[in-house]
Structure 1
Amino acid sequence: MIIPMEVNGAKLSFILDSGVNKPLLFSLSDQDSIQLNNVSEITIKGLGEGEPLKALRSRGNVFELKNIRNFNQQLYVVLDKSMNFSPTLGIPIHGIIGYDLFRDFVVDINYNTKVIKFYDPQYYKPKPSKKSQTLPISIVKNKSYLQGKVALNGKKDIPVKLLVDTGSSDAVWLFKDSIRGIGIPEKYYDDFLGKGLNGDIFGKRTKLNNITIGDFVLNDAKAAFPNMASFSAVKDLGDRNGSVGGEVLKRFNIVFNYPKNEITLRKNGGFNKPFHYNMSGIELQHNGLRYIAERIADSRGVVKNDEEAFGNVQILLENRTRLSLVPEIVVSGIRAGSPAAEAGLKEGDVVLAVNGKRIHEYKLQEIMKMINEREGKKIRLLIERYNKDLLFSFVLKEVFK
């Protein structure tokens, strides 16, 4: 979930992340102009196996989201340029914001319509519905936790306390706990799970028989067991057993009501959709811009500049050739033993087309869906390697067979 936010008059884009405390700014470029107030240098720690990061703490900043204003907002600015989610998500991201919005408002998230509404808690009146369920949440150190149950390894209804993490694109993370019976199933594969504040997070990807939240049951739910070295900066996990992220949460329309310590869930049209797995074994990301040349039917000057994308500038030349500045999509990671690895693809390969479709016409998430659509589908990737175009083919395989 990406929301527009003005910080001291500068227009920026933030991930709405219920798993973060104070707002974070990062990956600011030379083109981003923002004035910060009352600045001091600090060191911050987060998830990941890297070293703590140097950052700036700034107080007294003005945050604006439409008609919502905070004239005394504290924030942190990460100075490490490697902290950058924009290439992975495919759109410019400048920061993360979480608790301060959830604390002050009732937050209504409709994943179907992609609309977020913020209500003043004093005047919020919930709409009664037989299809929705309101559950208690606990707020601990400015983060929300939800009780649920999981079934795995032949054991049913294992109670779990999960961090509600709207900033995670994953489904369920679990921590091994032999006393509770939370163990890694026999069928799993090692995988890259995501980026944390202090580096990449790896773990074992698997699936659950089901996860139950309130009266809602999701079968064959995607899950992962992260390497606990990534949590070294977390001094005390308490009785937390893991987290629940976007791939589960997006199956509901959700109302977060922190002032009343409750959350309301109503399943939407995506509730019964199968969970997405990376069957190809490829991770993709943006890697700047590149020019492409295309023949066209007629020629008429300069066409457009789409400010919402990375580039997409088009110029028409007199010889009926169109030069377009488009995002460059590269292979950023390959899982060992995957179909892509066996076909010979390598990190750094520039992806030009998928099954004959030129990928510069698609968003990054759409391209990932194209190369992981269904088991048994044949994928043909046209890539550029050392200025040569090469064609690779492989067949998508069910990851747990």
Structure 2
Amino acid sequence: MHPSIKSLFLFLLSIFFAFSLQGQVPGFYMKEEKRRVKLPFIDSNSLIIMPVSINGGKEVNFLFDTGVKSNIFFSKTLADSMQMQYTRKLNLVGADGKTVLSASVSPNNHFDLGPLEGIFQAILVLDEDFLELEKVIGVPVYGVIGYEFFKNNPVKIDYDNSTVIFYRRSALKWRPFGFRKMDIDIQGNKPYIETSIRQINGPDLAAKLLIDTGANHGLLLNMETDEDIVLPENNLESDLGRSLGGDLFGYVARIKRLNIQGLKFRNVITSYPEENEFSEVIIETGRQGSLGSDVLNRMKIIMDYPRNRMLYKKGAKFSDEFKYDMSGLMVRVYSAENKRFYISQVREDSPAHRQGVEVYDEIITINKIPAAFWELSEITELMRSEEGKVISLELLRTNPSDPEQSTLHKITFLLEKQL
């Protein structure tokens, strides 16, 4: 989920009550007393997606996200079928005073993850799936689980093996071999760490960053939070994602180095969103930005909220180059089930733009392989793979004035590094 979405929910969910029941504490627990349990997750651009059954219903995919304070569900129709009960309606209002959408509060639900269960879980159910994460992620996702999953027990995220290990609270009194330790500040039910950043055109920064497992960027810096944050001269204007306030625009560039207390990441791709109506909420947290999955997936990390610490070490991808799209295309999904992909954005003066690719073109084949054989994450990886690589697309273009008419276009271009 994009950081701007989280900023909005931090603002909105201050009115979303924390449900509790006398003698019971809401949270996630092991069904059997063990030292730890291991859960595989679906890895889509290093986002953590796991199937969850709610109230005994069928399993649906949830995004597990340290950057979100409350559980959120995107489908009111599906929530009704899962026998969720609602106590009240909320009109979610942005900082500009305009109603964005409405939601229902469901205070008491049971989550089943096989060896784990979440008891007395409150959920904010959106009446309309405004975020449409499936189009961005390429995997059907029906909700987000945040702070509740992490708050009581250490949780290890192993991106190399696509597993989450949920520990008994007392199991990690000592630091595991090879792991470093740093303090985390749990503020507003979200984890923050202190880092240092060496910029290309600006001074060195001491940056407080949100650990955000639900964002697929690497580093994000909010320029409005610190006058010392300087946008590099070599940058690309880009659509950075969608929030409840609309599409978020900004720039993408690189920083020289990110230092996470001893681990140094070089030439990190960095997002610089434009100031928006939720910037004041971000400024109030005291943070300068956030760390997303394109940095986190280069480490093995243990989020230990009970002890206010993060344990971390290098992962298999630590030395991998940070790559950015070299085609100029942003590809989205009409339907992950039917594997239909379309072009949602074409960057001006990019290789694809110069060869005539247009927004809303549907992808039929990529390098002569039918679209049905691709995953969105594979397309994303291909478009940032190697400068000079030949990309051949067959595109179906519909006539906007006559939807019944469409033409097939064959376009070839070479990937070109622009950052």
Short-chain TM bin: 0.7 to 0.9
User: Shift in Å at residue 234 of structure 1?
Assistant: 2.2
Aligned length: 364
Regions of 4+ moved over 6 Å: 46-50
Check the 8 A contact 2:63/2:143 in 1, yes or no.
Answer: yes
1:16 maps to 64
Report the equivalent of 1:388.
Answer: 407
Residue aligning to 2:385: 373
Q: What is the CA distance between 1:286 and its match in structure 2?
A: 1.6
Change (3 A) 1:391 1:126: farther
How has the CA–CA distance of structure 1 residues 79 and 136 changed in structure 2, closer, same or farther, with 3 Å as cutoff? same
Counterpart position of 1:163: 210
Task: Kindly provide the amino acid, as one letter, of the partner of residue 251 in structure 1.
Answer: R
Taking a change above 3 Å as real, the CA distance of residues 275 and 363 of structure 1, as seen in their structure-2 partners, is: same
Cα distance change on mapping 1:90 and 1:49 into 2, 3 Å: farther
Q: TM-score, normalised by structure 1?
A: 0.85
* Residue correspondence of structure 1 range 58-77 to structure 2 within 5 A: 58-77=106-125
Equivalent residue number for residue 397 of structure 1: 416
> Given that residues 49 and 201 in structure 1 are in contact (C-alpha distance below 8 angstroms), is that contact kept between their aligned partners in structure 2?
no
Question: Partner letter of residue 259 of structure 1?
Answer: P
Residue 46 of structure 1: how far off its partner (Å):
7.3
1:225-304 map, 5 Å: 225-229=272-276, 231-232=278-279, 234=281, 236-288=283-335
Matched, 1:6 2:53: yes
Task: Provide the C-alpha distance between the structure 2 equivalents of 1:229 and 1:101, rounded to a whole number of angstroms.
Answer: 30
Which deviations, in whole Å up to 9, do the C-alpha atoms of 1:24-61 show, x marking residues without a partner? 00045669822112431013367999853211111011
Where structure 1 has 5 or more consecutive residues not aligned to the other structure, the ranges are: 289-308, 311-325
2:167 is aligned with 1:119: yes
Percent pairwise identity: 28
- Describe the SS at the equivalent of 1:381: strand
Distance 1:370-1:256 versus aligned 2 partners, 3 A rule: same
Kept in 1, the 8 Å contact 2:130–2:244? The answer is no
- Which one-letter code corresponds to 1:36 in the other structure? M
1:342 matched to 2:357? The reply is: no
2:132 corresponds, among 71, 81, 84, to 84
Q: 1:53 and 2:101 equivalent?
A: yes
When the two structures are superposed, what TM-score results if normalisation uses the length of structure 2? 0.81
Question: Which residue of 360, 369, 372 maps to 1:357?
Answer: 369
String of CA shifts for 1:157-177, please: whole Å, max 9, x gaps.
421000110000001111226
Going from structure 1 to structure 2, the CA distance change for 1:50 and 1:198 (only over 3 Å counts) comes to farther
| Residue matched to 1:305 | none
Question: Take 2:121 and 2:238, find their aligned partners in 1: how far apart are those partners?
Answer: 37
Q: Is the 8 A contact 1:7 1:61 kept in 2?
A: yes
* Cα contact 1:47–1:196 (8 A) shared by 2: no
Query: Which is helix-richer, 1 or 2?
Result: 2
Distance in 2 (CA, whole Å) between partners of 1:120 and 1:50 is 44
Q: Give the RMSD, CA atoms, in angstroms.
A: 2.4
Larger radius of gyration between Structure 1 and Structure 2: 1
Q: Is the 8 A contact 2:224 2:275 kept in 1?
A: no
Deviation of 1:271 after TM superposition, in Å, equals: 0.6
Return the offset for 1:71. 2.8
**Contact 1:48–1:199 at 8 Å: present in 2 too?**
no
| Rounded Cα–Cα distance in structure 1 between residues aligned with 2:166 and 2:349 | 46
Structure 2 equivalent of residue 96 of structure 1: 144
Q: Note the residue ranges of structure 2 that are not aligned, 5 or more in a row.
A: 1-47, 399-405
Question: 1:123 is paired with a residue of what secondary structure?
Answer: helix
- 1:122-155 per-residue CA deviation (whole Å, 9 max, x = no partner) reads 233555323x211100001101101101111355
User: Whole-Å Cα distance in 2 between the matches of residues 89 and 77 of structure 1?
Assistant: 20
Is 2:248 the partner of 1:201?
Answer: yes
Counterpart of 2:181?
A: 134
The verdict on how the C-alpha distance between 1:139 and 1:178 changes in structure 2, with shifts beyond 3 A counting, is: closer
Q: 1:31 to 1:136 in 2, by over 3 A?
A: closer
Distance 1:183 1:216 in 2: 23
The secondary structure found in structure 1 opposite 2:302 is strand
